[in-house]
Amino acid sequence: MQAKGISITPLQDEESVCRELNFLQQFSGHKNVASFFGAYYRAPLTECSSELLEIVLEYCGGGSLHNLISKTNGQSLKETWIGYVCKEVLKGLHHIHKNRAVHRDIKSLNIMLTETAKVKISE
């Protein structure tokens, strides 16, 4: 499992955090959407820090698509890899869209790869 920490500032972020958690809960059942296992608050470590919301997602040991691209040393990914990633992302988006929702933040940092090269959309 993988944990994602989100620093919470009072009230202003509460609505967006709730939207993200609802999104993860609703769509994590699809093979191309990272599984959501839960969320919990962690108290501030110091007086100067804010509370932290830990979101527990499926572990994606292959890292993000962004990491993969940055490891190519200026080379582009092979066309077969690009096609594979696009096809799998589109499957996940189709699942989300047929449930009348929109992701709103598709980017290489939110496309994760498992250790067996399965493609997962995260929020």
Name the residues annotated as catalytic: 105
- At 41, the amino acid letter reads Y
Instruction: Return the bridge partners of 54, or none.
Output: 5, 40
Helix (H, G, I), strand (E, B) or coil at 2: strand
- Pairing between strand 111-113 and 63-64? antiparallel
Handedness of CA 97, 67, 61, 83 (dihedral sign): positive
